[in-house]
Structure 1
Amino acid sequence: MNADNEAPNTEQTQTEPRKWYHGVTNYQWLVLIIACAGWVFDVYEGQIFNITRQDMLLEVLGGDEAATKQWGDFFLAIFLCGGTIGGLLFGSLADRYGRQPIMIATILMYSVFSGLTFFASDIYTIGGLRFLVALGIGGEWAVAASLVAEVFPKHARAHASGIFHATSILGTWLAALVGIWVASQWRYAYLIGVLPALLIVWVRVSVKEPQRWEERRRSTEVSQMGSFRELLLNSQWNGLAIRGMLLAAVGLGTFWAVTVAGQDIVREFLLERGVVEEDAKSRAKFAYGIVQATGGGLGLLSFGPLAARFGRKRTFIGFHAAALAIVPCVCFLPQTYTQLLILLPVFGFLTLGMHSGYAIYFPELFPTNIRATGASFCFNGGRMMAVPVLLFSGWLKSREDVSLSTAVMGLSLLFLVGIAIILTLPETKDRDLVEA
């Protein structure tokens, strides 16, 4: 294999480059770009439904608004389940058969089935296609996160993995712009979703299997590659897998229960001050989709450099503690819309930034033969564990005797659970990738 495909020898030396990107090869940059492109479209495929579902479901259900809300929530549950199953399945297959072919399979799956949504004419077809799209989306993250971790040298791993996950904000912005462009013609937004299939040619031509995976495949029985038995029944790894999953569940649960609530907080704030409903909705979308999302994107980009300097555990703890502190500030301190806009980027930065840590940390916990399996179990298992949080959040926010701000502040106590979990996990800063 070409030496340019792997990390330079700085991985084995004690003298680290002065800058994290020094010594990173052209091939390693190429892998990061391809992984980011796949993840951007991955997020686009997930977010475009949130943006277009009102128009889509109203059309398919003949204008029944009550059924539209019910089916919208049901499809969210379908999407979370599909993402979990796809992540576990394709993560295991990537460990067994290689990163490149499974990345191709996942991109092809979410691209094709998203495009087929253009032709959907009934609610059950849409539900089935959303499940199949989610299978591909769940699998792509695990494969790409493992590939980036394995290809980049130790000194650059946190930065590269953080950049990889942070590009999710580009997928969100892309979905928002496409949603605005297509307006009520929602089918074209899904037709655009076919474009990621073009990545397959690039992946096929450019991406090689990491050398460490090739070496491990030659020295390990096939049954041990991508083995859930090895992950969940081996005491060396099962505790890490369970605690990693719980850590992700806190982040994903608070995302739906706390971070996403930023839009509703702004809307209610404006309504209480006499702003008409349509204007309040428009200004809330801007505050959430642009102002808060920009802060969130900066938080995602910042986690990698902070983790490289202070360690993974300290950075996770810092983000969780600061998120716990910022929530009541956003909920109760602002007296004007301008003051709220000033706080929202900080709110986004602190409540979302920790998510980059999952792409950095989870692949570092497990050996090559179960790296994608373990990372996927943590992240996508966390999706499933977040469902009860989502349901409880909906129930709590719907209570007439509890204000939205009080509910969100109460739900933010989950960040304390995240701190407790990370305290039990090992530090991986300056550590080579694990080999059993």
Structure 2
Amino acid sequence: MTVDPNDPYAPPNDAESSAPAVSNDDDSSGPWYRGVTRYQWLILVIACAGWVFDVYEGQIFNITRNDMLLQVLDGNTAAVKAWGDNFLAIFLAGGTIGGLLFGSLADRYGRRPIMIATILMYSIFSGLTFFANDIYVIGILRFLVALGIGGEWAVAASLVAEVFTRRARAQAAGIFHASSILGTWLAALSGILVGSHWRYAYLLGVLPALLIVWVRASVKEPERWQATKSKTAGARAGSFRDLLLNSRWNGLAIRGMLLAAVGLGTFWSVTVAGQDLVRELLLSLGISPEEAGTRSKFAYGIVQATGGGLGLLSFGPLAARFGRKPTFIAFQAMALLIVPIVCFLPQSYAQMLVILPVFGFLTLGMHSGYAIYFPELFPTHIRATGASFCFNGGRLLAVPVLLFSGWLKGREDVPLEYAVSGLSLLFLLGIAVILTMPETKQRDLVEE
């Protein structure tokens, strides 16, 4: 077979490969994890641990925001809805800036030191939220937490992609992103345990700082990164100029960002709305606000999140079997169908608990694809930069969605069910975007 030398996704010439850290063994017999080394498992566990606490820091606001905002805003319920989505928009903006900054630094200075810096950042500022009493101070702290969270994802996703073999990469990256469900569960359990004493849930956010000791002792820079660093002498490493002005990569970066924007925008405006849909249903059935709040936390943080976790775990094997593009398309098409079902069909709490896992599976599962797909689109010297640009740039594009979502859900003449169903139409845009992008199944990571 003739290989186009200008195709960055062409199968590699193993004789010329400059990436000794990752085997290009095409033997597909046996389970995907056969041959995975102890160090590769260690890297996956560390990446997952960082991502678990990363997600905890983001989700704990969703779990505690009503209690927090009611207290800080002196019980002004009208302001709570507006500030809730405004805070999510602030969080997405901070994640974008942090992701772009730390992703570039990780390509330039290495994966390990930047991972340490990001974990330290989101741990400290989450803990400081315990002492905050002013709505604007909390907003600043959430922005700073988001800076660290955005950067940590890009570094960890690139690290997993570079350490694992082509044969195991999709499954490993899928497991990495799926570990986020543990962060959601941890946030849900913390929210339930602390009740209205929301400050203690943020104080627990200091614990990830302990990960730094483990990272310093265990993580080595991937040989791919070291080889590229030596070859380029750092001149192009982490270069936004190379990413955005080079025609080989800029189109992929923009389309990847749009793809992530759909997933992130629908997550914060549609998936997270599962908790609000449950609470509204319970209130309509005459359940007290306190009981409705507790039950909705459980329904969202445990029941729906369990379905979401299974979706995240499923994406990797499905992408390895059928390809990245078909899997993205299938998840988004089915998500478009399930949203109006969960909005209008359930008439009782029990019925809602049956449908919510499917809702979580389909609307959240596609997010594993970002950790799998984005690092495969870009060469080593801008891999974290490119992956971060896609994922965290998608956060920035999702901000208008969040602002619109807050406005729409705050309107008294628009029922929540209709607002959420309308916002789910964004999945159509996601399908249109992925149709224009390349398939990376069974292709090695791009080097140049």
What TM-score bracket applies, with the shorter chain setting the length? over 0.9
Contact 1:8 / 1:24 at 8 angstroms: preserved in 2?
Answer: no
The one of 300, 306, 325 equivalent to 1:294 is 306
Flag the 1:30–1:81 CA change in 2: closer, same or farther, 3 A.
Answer: same
2:151 corresponds, among 122, 136, 139, to: 139
CA distance in 2, matches of 1:158, 1:368: 17
The corresponding residue for 1:116 is: 128
295 and 366 in structure 1: CA distance in 2 versus 1, 3 angstrom threshold: same
2:429 corresponds in structure 1 to 417
Look up the match of 1:257: 269
Residues 1:151 and 2:163 aligned together: yes
**Which of 180, 192, 195 is the matching residue for 2:192?**
180
State the distance in 2 between where 1:339 and 1:64 align. Answer: 32
Cα gap change, 1:122 to 1:288, in 2 (>3 Å) = closer
Quote the offset at 1:232 in angstroms: 0.5
Q: Which has the higher contact order (CA 8 A, sep 6+)?
A: 2
Counterpart CA distance in 2 for 1:182 and 1:403 is 31
Percent identical residues: 79
Q: Tell me, in whole angstroms, the C-alpha distance in 1 between the residues paired with 2:252 and 2:322.
A: 21
Which of 94, 100, 104 matches 1:82? 94
The answer for the alignment partner of 1:363 in structure 2 is 375
Cα offsets for 1:62-119 (capped at 9, x unmatched)? 5555555554443322221111100000000000000001001111111122223333
CA shift in 2, pair 1:192/1:264, >3 Å? closer
The match for 1:207 among 201, 212, 219 is 219
Deviations 1:409-432 (A, max 9, x none): 222221111111111000011000
How far, CA to CA, are the matches of 1:51 and 1:107 in structure 2? 21
Contact 2:81 2:410 in 1 (8 A): no
Q: Which residue of 1 aligns with 2:416?
A: 404
Q: Is the contact between residue 181 and residue 305 of structure 2 (CA under 8 Å) also seen in structure 1?
A: yes
RMSD: 2.2
Q: How far is 1:189 from its partner?
A: 2.3
Mapped to 2, the partners of 1:295 and 1:424 lie a distance apart of: 29
Residue 160 of structure 1 corresponds to 172
C-alpha distance in 1, partners of 2:280/2:432? 33
Tell me, yes or no, if the aligned pair for 1:44 and 1:172 is still in contact at 8 Å. yes
Question: Which secondary structure state, in structure 1, belongs to the residue aligned with residue 363 of structure 2?
Answer: helix
Judging changes above 3 Å, is the alpha-carbon distance between structure 1 residues 409 and 62 closer, same or farther for their aligned structure 2 residues? closer
After TM superposition, the structure 1 = structure 2 runs for residues 193-272 of structure 1, keeping only pairs within 5 Å, are: 193-272=205-284
C-alpha separation in 1, matches of 2:43 and 2:214: 10
Q: CA deviation at 1:151?
A: 0.2
Equivalenced residues, count: 431
Which amino acid is the alignment partner of residue 223 of structure 2? Answer: Q
TM value normalised by structure 1: 0.92
> Quick check: 1:17–1:23 contact (8 Å CA) kept in 2?
no
Tell me, yes or no, if the aligned pair for 1:7 and 1:24 is still in contact at 8 Å.
no
CA deviation after TM superposition for structure 1 residue 121, in Å: 4.3
Gaps of 5+ in 2: 1-17
CA distance in 2, matches of 1:187, 1:398: 26
Aligned to 1:3: none
Q: Is the Cα contact below 8 Å between 1:8 and 1:153 reproduced in 2?
A: no
The alpha-carbon distance between structure 1 residues 9 and 189, as it changes in their structure 2 partners (threshold 3 A), is closer
Give distance in 1, aligned partners of 2:57 and 2:339. 29
Q: Tell me what 2:327 maps to.
A: 315
CA separation of 1:396 and 1:370: change in aligned 2, threshold 3 A: same
